Structure 1
Amino acid sequence: MKLLEPGTDLDGFTIEDCIHAGGMAHIYQVRYADDRRTSSFPMAMKIPRMTAGDGAENIVSFEIECQIMQAIAGPHFPRFVAAGDLERIPYLVMEYVRGHTLQHWLDREQPASIDEVARLGAAMAQAAHALHQQNAVHLDLKPANVLVRDDGSAVLLDFGLSCHAHHPDLLAEQLRKAVGSPAWIAPEQVVGVRGDPRSDIFAIGVMLYQLCTGALPFGEPQSTAGLRQRLWVDPVPPRKLRPEVPAWLQEVVLRCLEPVAAQRYPSAAHLAFDLSHPTQVHITTRGNKLTGTPFRTHFKRWIRAAGMQYAPSPMPVQQISEVPIVLVAVPYKDVSDATLYSLREAAARSLGTRPGARLACVTVISSGLTSASDEEKSETTVHRRYLSTLHQWAQPLEQPGLQISCHVLESGDPAHALLEYARGNNVSVIVMGAATHGLKTQRFVATVPIKVAMDAPCTVVLVKQALPFALLAEGDAPRAARTGYSDSDSEGASQLGDDLGPLG
């Protein structure tokens, strides 16, 4: 279709400037033709190219994008406005989001700083997780399809190659060959596997590699044989190309680029978590290596890849629900052995047998604890002390495949701090002790657990304190009544608290 002239009216929309003329579509700024109708946000119209030389993929992609845009919602996606009739004039009107695509950072002369790479990567992962939570997978993430707003949040664009679990996968029905952009396509996509959210994690890993090194990890292959090499070949370690890349960031990037999806991050939420908390990244040999993978390893992968073929994927929501991020709020004062024991047991039950889950142990300390000028109450000393305590508390929960991280937050409002942490880190379950206030008292006093339970973006498990039978038999039952969330002062630290170290 030829370019439309500014001022042209189409189905109640007035065409303005053409802001993009690509190989798949033309994009125009538009407004309502009726001056009495106004929009609360700027709008853009996308019209697919349909010339004689264009393949059927253009029409199929347009149909897919129309389906997906109407099925997803949230701040990480343009808002859907209207769609045109495919038999007459196909078009898609959506919100026009202002910002820079990721290509803006790649085109600069100076490479992105480590902090910028982490910030941009976390924003991309947050947006991808929001998409996966709605049972959709993008499958064509690349610098041109990731837009970053001025506030740092990411918006995903162009859903023409995407897959939604609740809609027919038209591309899978039409084509069995690899569908995607060659430089960013995941290994499983090469053999026709669609619908796995970890494919988007691979694409984010490619973009992180680009931001770190300025190069593409697998080049830009144009043949099927070139595409298949990523099924068994590892890229050059980023630290070999750019020595200032820290080990933790290389660990994150190379984990995203693992040929086998099961060896990558289990969800985009886990990736965002590591990029937002670099000190909590568990560094393996991936993070420190400066040489390539041995030929023997590549050969074994090549043999395994020869047998890979198309297979349907479980729904994205099902996959990410099996690898939750669980937050357990551990009080720092007025804590009893019953509280500590019960919280640990409840955390273990919430994690279940999920090998890819993550446990975030969080304690919120009062702002006044680090305001003193003496060295013993300096911020570094106080935080280090409570971090050590959290590590000791969590040690019995350690098991293979479970990632545990510990965090000390400082706030005068514990409920607000916990809620902000949960929202910012895509927490699936919050485990915390129940207050000891009676029901009548709670009508007038909003306790921390009640505040969290009322406003939490996820499941909240309120734990009633209980000691193991062995300790109850020794006459420790009265101490079980003390709680870390009571507003009254404790008479003294419990025995278990003494064993763990000072909690307040």
Structure 2
Amino acid sequence: MNCRTTDRDTRESAREPMTTTYMPGTRIDHYEIIKMLGHGGMNRVYLASDVRTGQKVVLKTPNDDIIGNVALFERYKRESEIGNRIKHSNVQHMLNTEEQRSEQYLVVEYIQGQTLRTKLEEIAPNVMPRGEALRIVIQICDALAYCHEHGVYHRDIKPENIMIDDDGNVKIIDFGIALLEGARRVTWRGLSNTVGTPDYMSPEQIKGERGTASSDIYAVGMILYELLCGHTPFEGENIFAVMNQHVSQDPPSILQCNPDIPPELATVVMHAIRRDPEKRYKTMSEMLHDLENLPAVKPVHYHPDAPKEGRAWVREVRIASIIIIALLIIAIALGFLAQYVHYAAH
């Protein structure tokens, strides 16, 4: 059974871009589609069954418009390279990477569970119990320390990309914008470097620098702050307000929102989320060690650096934000153009 449709079938008259959609029951090689799980800017995600083994898997098929976009398609393929390099129990596994396939798609482990974001929404407005928060973040740190040792930097760590399976185990997902050490650089300067989610994005990423280990450390610190306080340290009316706070000031002490946190744990959190990357943990392994040995951590009184002020600084942040958005719009437009040319040629 091969039931696949494209947006052309329903929107041809509108001349809108087309993307292949697979219906339940469709066979792609030896995988049978069960249902669509979701879709985003780069791919569509399906729950499927491997008919050879009966195992449930996840298929990630690239949107048609990224196939004509060299930069975006390179990111998509790079996720497969990373899957071959990373084999850790707390990272979603890439499956069957050596098999021959009739078209481009990724096969990844199906995780029965929920995202950390869903878990946080379920317990709101309460905060997560400290022991549970530590158990989760220690697993995240352990997985990322392994990734960093193998030259992989996630760069988009956030609750939406952390799965908690039915047994309570952490699984980090979505390495679509990860940095692979030694990989060829294929995207535009400015657009390629500023990736991530503003609430968890390091100041250096927001300023257009290439996110690395320190950026992942910052993001994990932000998550730990949120788990223990119920919110991230920086909040604003819009994305620009949040980005401005990240780059212009150190976060407020976690003890201001939750004074019951032990000083040793507060020291670890604030060490991870300093605005200046030189003042953060140097490696994820160091942060992991402190979380696993909290009684041995020497409490340090938190002294935030003075905020950067002045109209020139605010203007710099606004200009950087506008440039980022403009480049994203250009990338999307080029994707649509590439897709149009692709279909016109066929």
Q: TM-score range by the shorter chain?
A: 0.7 to 0.9
For the 8 Å contact 1:164–1:195, the answer to whether it is kept is no
Decide whether aligned partners of structure 1 residues 301 and 206 sit closer, same or farther in structure 2, where only a CA change above 3 A counts: farther
Please show how residues 72-91 of structure 1 align to structure 2 within 5 Å. Answer: 72-82=86-96, 89-91=103-105
Match of 1:298 in 2: 307
Instruction: Give a deviation string over 1:66-88, Cα, whole Å, max 9, x none.
Output: 2222232222222222579xxx8
Deviations 1:80-131 (A, max 9, x none): 22579xxx85321111123332113311133101112211111111111111
Structure 1 range deviating more: 274-283 or 128-137: 274-283
In the other structure, the counterpart of 2:344 is none
**Structure 1 residue 65: Cα displacement:** 1.5
Q: How many pairs does the alignment contain?
A: 293
The structure with the largest alpha-carbon Rg is 1
- Which residues of 2 match residues 177-256 of structure 1 at below 5 A? 178-194=194-210, 196-219=212-235, 221-223=238-240, 226-256=242-272
What fraction of aligned residue pairs are identical, expressed as a percent? 26
Q: What's the offset of the Cα at 1:243? A: 2.6
1:96 matched to 2:110? The reply is: yes
- Which residue is equivalent to 2:60? 46
Q: Is the 8 A contact 1:111 1:214 kept in 2?
A: yes
1:15 Cα offset (Å): 0.9
Q: Which of 154, 177, 181 is residue 165 of structure 1 equivalent to?
A: 181
- How far is the alpha carbon of 1:259 from its aligned partner? 1.1
1:449-494 superposed Cα distances (whole Å, 9 cap, x missing partner): xxxxxxxxxxxxxxxxxxxxxxxxxxxxxxxxxxxxxxxxxxxxxx
Which structure has more relative contact order (CA 8 Å, sep 6+)? It is 2
> Aligned partner of 2:46: which letter?
Y
Normalising to structure 1: TM-score of the pair? 0.52
- Cα deviation, residue 207, structure 1: 0.7
Once the two structures are superposed, the pairs formed by residues 224-373 of structure 1 within 5 Å of their partners are 226-286=242-302, 293=304, 297-299=306-308
The aligned amino acid for 1:43 is V
C-alpha displacement at 1:177, in angstroms? 5.5
Does structure 1 conserve the Cα–Cα contact (< 8 Å) formed by 2:198 and 2:242? no
Structure with greater proportional helix content = 2
Aligned 8 A contact 2:130 2:228 in 1: yes
Say if 2:30 is the partner of 1:12.
yes
Quickly say closer, same or farther: Cα 1:10–1:251, change in 2 above 3 A. Answer: same
Q: C-alpha separation between the residues in 2 aligned to 1:82 and 1:234? A: 44
Q: Indicate if the aligned counterparts of 2:195 and 2:205 stay in contact, CA closer than 8 A.
A: yes
Question: Secondary structure of the equivalent of 1:201?
Answer: helix
What SS is found at the alignment partner of 1:78? coil
Following superposition, the deviation at residue 28 of structure 1 comes to 1.2
Give me the whole-angstrom Cα distance separating, in 2, the residues matched to 1:48 and 1:216: 32
Q: Amino acid of the residue matched to residue 118 of structure 2?
A: H
Is the alpha carbon distance of 1:205 and 1:44 closer, same or farther for their aligned partners in structure 2, counting shifts above 3 Å?
same
Give the CA RMSD over aligned residues.
Answer: 3.4
CA contact (8 A) 1:122 1:273 kept: no
Amino acid in structure 1 at the alignment position of 2:308: F
* TM superposition shift of 1:148: 2.6
1:126 counterpart residue number = 142
Matched residue, 1:149: 165
**1:6 partner letter:** P
Question: CA offset at residue 298 of structure 1?
Answer: 1.5
Give distance in 2, aligned partners of 1:115 and 1:303.
Answer: 44
Distance 2:311 2:166 in 1: 44
Q: Name the CA distance, whole Å, in 2 between partners of 1:155 and 1:164.
A: 19
- What is the SS of the residue equivalent to 1:43? strand
Report if aligned partners of 1:201, 1:265 keep a CA contact under 8 Å in 2: yes
Contact 1:197 1:267 in 2 (8 A): yes
Amino acid at match of 2:222: V
Q: What SS does the corresponding residue of 2:35 show, helix, strand or coil?
A: strand
Task: Read off the aligned partner of 1:139 and give its amino acid letter.
Answer: R
Could you say if the C-alpha distance between residues 153 and 32 of structure 1 is closer, same or farther in structure 2, counting changes exceeding 3 Å?
closer
Look up the SS of the partner of 1:298 in the other structure: coil
In structure 2, relative to structure 1, the CA distance for the partners of 1:231 and 1:83 (3 Å cut) is same
Distance in 1 separating the partners of 2:193 and 2:288: 31
The one-character-per-residue Cα deviations of 1:278-303 (angstroms, maximum 9, x if unpaired) are: 211211112xx7xxx47xx2238999
Partners of 1:78 and 1:249 lie apart in 2 by: 28
Residue of structure 2 in register with 1:26 after alignment: 44
Contact in 2 for aligned 1:198/1:264 (Cα 8 Å): yes
**Is the contact between residue 249 and residue 308 of structure 2 (CA under 8 Å) also seen in structure 1?**
no
Q: Do 1:231 and 1:302's aligned partners in 2 also have CA atoms closer than 8 Å?
A: no
1:5, CA displacement in angstroms? 0.9
Distance in 1 of aligned mates of 2:116 and 2:310:
32
C-alpha contact 2:190 2:208 (8 A) present in aligned 1: no
* 3-state SS in 1 of match to 2:48: strand
Asked if structure 2 preserves the Cα contact closer than 8 Å seen for 1:83 and 1:90, the reply is no
Q: How far off its partner does 1:153 sit?
A: 3.7
> Could you give the per-residue CA deviations for residues 164-186 of structure 1, whole angstroms, max 9, x where no partner exists?
11322334668355222111111
What letter is aligned with 1:214? G
Q: Structure 1 CA distance, aligned partners of 2:311 and 2:223?
A: 25
Q: SS state of the match for residue 21, structure 2?
A: coil
The alignment's TM-score, normalised by the length of structure 2, stands at 0.73
